[in-house]
Structures are given as C-alpha cells and as structure tokens.
Amino acid sequence: MRTTVGIIGAGPAGLLLARLLHNAGIDSVVLESRDRDYVEHRQRAGILEQGTADVLRAAGAGERMDREGLRHDGIELRFDRRRHRVDFPALTGGRSVMVYAQTEVCKDLIALQLKEGGPLLFEAEALAVEGADTDSPRVRFRHEGTEDVLDCDYVVGCDGFWGVSRKAVPAELTRVFERTYPFGWLGILADVAPSHDELVYARHDRGFALLSMRSPSVSRLYLQVPEGTDAEAWSDDEIWAELERRFETADGWRLERGPITQKSVTPMRSYVHEPMRHGRLFLAGDAAHIVPPTGAKGLNLAVGDVVTFARALTYQKETGSAQLLDTYSEACLRRVWQAERFSYDMTTLLHRAPDATPFEDRLQLARLERLAGSRAAETDLAEAYTGFPFG
C-alpha cells in the first residue's frame, strides 16, 4: 500500500487528521489496532474547548455535537463549603466549552471517513515505523493475519502512550519530562440526572471531587483516592456518601444519587516527550504528552497537534515550503507546555497531597480565595480552560 500520510491510531486525533487532510485534498490511510466497536465505546474525555468545537464544525463533523452536546458557559469552584462560579463568556469575550464525549466524536468522524475519506483499517496492528529519517518512511503492520507495509511520504503517530510511533525516535535525541502524582481518580458513571448544570470542582480536606456529566440523564463523578486504589474496594453507598461530604455547601445544596453503571480508577501523571518530530515522523496526542485530567486538556491538546500538522502540510502543498513542517515540534510544544502548566496548577490547587501540612492547606485556600476575589485571576483560569489558540 502507498499513501501520502500514514496515520497510526483511530482515536479522535487520527480520525480528525484524516478528515482535515481529506478536505485539503491530501490522501491518507488510517491504521487502528482495535476493532470499530471498541473505538466507538471506549470512555475517555468529554470536554471540548472552544477551538476544538470550532475545528469539528469547520471539518463538517459538528452537526450532531451541536444538536446533542451540552454547551457550558462556566464552572463552579467549591471550597470551605462555599460556591463560586467562573463565567467563561464574560471573561473571555464569549468563549465556552462543549460537553460531548470522545466516543461520540469518534463515531461522527468514523462515519465521515468511511463515507467520504480514504482507507480506515480496523484491527490493523502497527508493528514498527521504519525509515523515519528518510524521504520514504513506512509502517509495518499486521491486518487480517497477514503482515503488510504502508509506504508513506509522512507518518503521524496518534497511537497513544503505548504505541510504536514514539519508539522510532532515537533515544539519544529524546528528552522526557514527567511527574507522577501520589493519587488517582475513582470515576463513576451513574444513571441519574446531573445535580448541577455545570461542572463542579471541589477542594475538601478529605480530597478533591468533580461533578461532571455525559448527558442530561447520565452523571460522571470523580473522587480523589490514593494511588493504586482498587475501584471495586469501594461500595456504591461508600462512593455516594464520600461525594456528598466533599460537595457539601453551607446553602443546603443536594447531590442526587442513582444506579452506578461503571467504576474505574485513573492514575494521575504529567509527561512530555521532546521532540515531537523525527524526520518524517510526527507525534501527536498521548504519543507525545499526557496531562492529569483536572484541566480537561488531553483530547484538546491532541486536536491542536493534528491541526498544526494539517496546516503545515497544506501550506507545503500550496507554496512548496516546508517551513511549517520544520517547526511543527516547536509550535506544538509551546501549547503543550502551557496546558501542562495549567493542568498542574489545577491539580495542585484542588487535590490534597497525602503528606500535606497545615501551611499547604491554607495556601490552597488562599489561592482559591484569590480566584474568587480577583477578575484577573479568574480571567487567567477561564482563558486556559476554554483553550489556548491553535498555532
């Protein structure tokens, strides 16, 4: 097989990239190791920045998002039994976010790709990227029990942290920056209407809690738990009771309970791989960087990466200049590090470390008081939460 761009991974980044390239008249092939059902049902992030939503609309993939997604114009911060709302449009000139699950984004993009785009091969396991530093890189892959080769002009690795793409970057050229946090998130899906119409981020002496949602009838909630916690060690009643404690307010707000349909624990880490390009191999999304979920940045960072690549390749097609391709890594990493900074700030603002001292507890409360009392501080949070510009 031969194509201009070989894309490894059919998550939202790889699928969106294929769509952007198709709209620019550039051919591609997408290789995905899992089957279609798995891709369309794996639960991941559900907050789309303003820029991400705008890109999906411009790509022709926003119709169902606009019909079924939930626009959010703010978040609520809770601390010391108090509530403070951050108004995004008022602070950012009208920007907001969209609650629309990654699974739904993938369904929309898969349907478009199969109808209009180039080949999308499910259960096609990428085995290796070869010749990344040549003009003719290739991807060895296995599909339907047979090993094959995809010859490309460029390879984009959207295959996540455990994929093969990053392994093609020589170790001597690589710098890795990472931090592992001593806690995780116990997340649940529950068949109950959300108890608040916007996301609620709660700082409590017992640990962080987050109230989110998947739809008007399905709630998504999280509890900070020690690293290595087994989700099944928590009974449903224990989870609801702990959520109620951490969300408690002085005005009598109530958390509605419902049947829990899913439990899982998400570890918390920050990770950046530099560079994000080696020759004609370009890394995107979790293949190059991971953020803790507190800032809702993971999916949106991946979108920023593939938008940057698609623009760069389109620019080369139209002008003959590789200038934007040559600066891909630097352009992406500027945005990545701002998102890492914001995610770290949100994580350390709202989570209580296992060895936290009374001094550190009071510093957290002081930082939250500053956010609640300063328009400048609120604006910084709102601008970061609704999204850093692409490029």
Which residue numbers are catalytic? 72, 201, 293, 297, 385
CA angle (260 as vertex; 254, 265 as ends), nearest 5? 100
**Cβ-proximal residues to 35 (8 Å cutoff; 6+ apart), any chain:** 122, 123
**What is the C-alpha to C-alpha distance for residues 145 and 141, in angstroms, rounded to an integer?**
10
**Parallel, antiparallel, or unpaired: how do β-strands 175-190 and 218-226 relate?**
antiparallel
**What is the C-alpha to C-alpha distance for residues 290 and 367, in angstroms, rounded to an integer?**
25
Closest CA to 163 of 270, 333, 31, 19: 31
**What is the C-alpha to C-alpha distance for residues 71 and 74, in angstroms, rounded to an integer?**
9
Closest CA to 20 of 28, 32, 10, 31: 28
Return the bridge partners of 74, or none. Answer: 87
Compute how many other C-beta atoms are within 10 angstroms of the C-beta atom of residue 111. Answer: 13
Task: Kindly state the DSSP code that residue 2 receives in the 8-state scheme.
Answer: B
Q: Which contiguous run of DSSP H or E holds residue 53?
A: helix 50-58
Cβ(171)–Cβ(29) below 8 Å: no
Q: Which two tokens stand for residue 193?
A: 């209407």
Q: Which two tokens stand for residue 389?
A: 């510009």
Coil, strand or helix at 334: helix
Q: Which contiguous run of DSSP H or E holds residue 38?
A: helix 36-39
Amino acid at 126: A
Phi, psi torsion values for 148, nearest 5 degrees: -140, 175
Compute how many other C-beta atoms are within 10 angstroms of the C-beta atom of residue 7. Answer: 34
Give all strands of the β-sheet with 281-283 in edge-to-edge order.
120-121, 28-31, 5-8, 154-157, 281-283, 277-278
Compute how many other C-beta atoms are within 10 angstroms of the C-beta atom of residue 341. Answer: 14
